[in-house]
Structure 1
């Protein structure tokens, strides 16, 4: 098997070491500790060569947990961590004293979808922090779940055009409503007008509206739309483990994604979506090997 994919969206969390407020009261399979060692045997059975760990809580403890895992496992290429963006002075201090010298620190994210204000990113202090990220060429992951989040991302891109942004999970396309493509589609076009905005094809099984029975045909139109809108040079893939377990196994997700991409794109373009774009966006190097 050719190991040719960078999985740009892997989560881990440890309920004994950090607090994850969004899991408190959750009755699903997600409300327990998930460590990287649990995923590794599954990853071996897929074309995934390496992963990027992505923050799951708005505090440094979560980032430290991910960095510790990255140092311990060669299959992790980088970490998208958290910074206190509402405090630009502290953000700058943490970067200068810790994270700029940390080789695995490759990006930043904040759980904006858990904030009451969908325009949380547009606060002056947060924008100042995002400008600091742009200055250091550190990309930002936007985890939006509705149109207001997408509009906010568009405004951020307009205000800070040098900041590289990626829209996690395609900002929740209207798959369950079978809408083609409505307000989401128009906003995605606006977002794509900025060449520094990327699209992360991830989390679509859980976004389908029927995670127990979703199929490739359910998500194919939205993946095709993302590729047509952003181009094959600004899209990449993420598995969203362990959240993806709500919609089936890790291997099943990658079977879906690879089948769709190989059906839509020719070899060199598919390789960009599988590997090249993610390596460039997160500034990581991963060996592509034949197993």
Structure 2
């Protein structure tokens, strides 16, 4: 199948060290420890089948969300953002939704950097649960950035407590590519959470998850992509590039070449179109 320029990249980051605080970069010695603006990515994006993108939060503060909204307003390529809300303070969440974000056309989802919290069950705190219930009532989906099986177990409990909350597992919740497991505890937990039809899988971040950032291949990640498509179905999976974190494992174009190669091999044209843009449009109310 010829890949048309219609893909929605559902996972793009930007950050500006002068405009927001990014605590996770404090001791980072990699190329990520500098500001990244969308203007740097756009020339690369133009050479891929990606037609548009969604900006995803990179800091647990409103300054980062403001930066993304400002960027979205200036670039037609950005069609939505996944922002941040103070989930530990439900009254503030309510106020922000009522007075600002529910009226903001680009504000289409929420995320918190749970993988940087010491407690893997952070999402199960009563205040957070109350805020998540609020998101469900506003039909705002939630991105879960989990990196281990404990995060996945927590996500399962959240999906049981608030079954109407649409959630997506960023980066497939770090499948055991590096360990070479097919598919172990991760696989069982993914199957369990997929039983909730409101939980989606985001195929993204797999180059860095491979444990071999320099030499990873499409063959390394294809079994995990295939497994996600099998347990979630072709109606509940979509793609994300994870730029600029993905630059630790190759160029933007390289990632999309591998992702589209896998999708085109595994799926027919109709199902590929779902994964490329239709599912994301439905999930994020685009």
Q: TM-score, normalised by structure 1?
A: 0.97
Matched, 1:100 2:102: yes
Aligned to 1:288: none
The within-5 A match list for 1:30-69 is 30-69=32-71
C-alpha distance in structure 2 between counterparts of 1:133 and 1:268, whole Å: 31
Measure, in 2, the Cα distance between the counterparts of 1:211 and 1:190: 29
Q: Secondary structure at the match of 1:193?
A: coil
Q: Which residue of 2 aligns with 1:85?
A: 87
Q: Which residue pairs with 1:287 in the alignment?
A: none
- What secondary structure does 2:203 align onto? strand
Residue matched to 1:116: 118
Aligned counterparts, 1:22-37, within 5 A: 22-37=24-39
Structure 1 segment 201-216 matched on structure 2, within 5 A: 201-216=203-218
In structure 1, the partner of 2:164 is 162
The residue number in structure 2 matching 1:248 is 250
- Tell me the distance in 1 between the aligned counterparts of 2:31 and 2:272: 33
String of CA shifts for 1:187-214, please: whole Å, max 9, x gaps: 0000100000000000000000011110
Q: For 1:240 and 1:101, how far apart are their aligned partners in 2? A: 27
Aligned pair count reads: 284
The correspondence of residues 173-212 of structure 1 with structure 2, limited to 5 A, is 173-212=175-214
Take 1:150 and 1:104, find their aligned partners in 2: how far apart are those partners?
28
* Unaligned residue ranges in structure 2 (runs of 5+): none
What is the match of residue 136 of structure 1?
138
Residue 16 of structure 1: how far off its partner (Å)? 0.8
Give the 4+ runs in structure 1 shifted more than 2 A.
Answer: none
- For structure 1, list consecutive stretches of 5 or more residues without a partner in the other structure: 285-291
Give the alignment's TM-score, normalised by structure 2. 0.99
What is the alpha-carbon root mean square deviation over aligned residues? 0.5
| Structure-1 residue corresponding to 2:268 | 266
The CA deviation at 1:2 is 2.3
Tell me the residue number matched to 1:2: 4
Greater relative contact order (Cα 8 A, min sep 6): structure 1 or 2? 1
How far has the Cα of 1:283 moved from its partner? 1.1
Q: 1:217 aligns with which of 210, 216, 219?
A: 219
In 2, the alpha carbon distance for the partners of 1:211 and 1:218 equals: 11
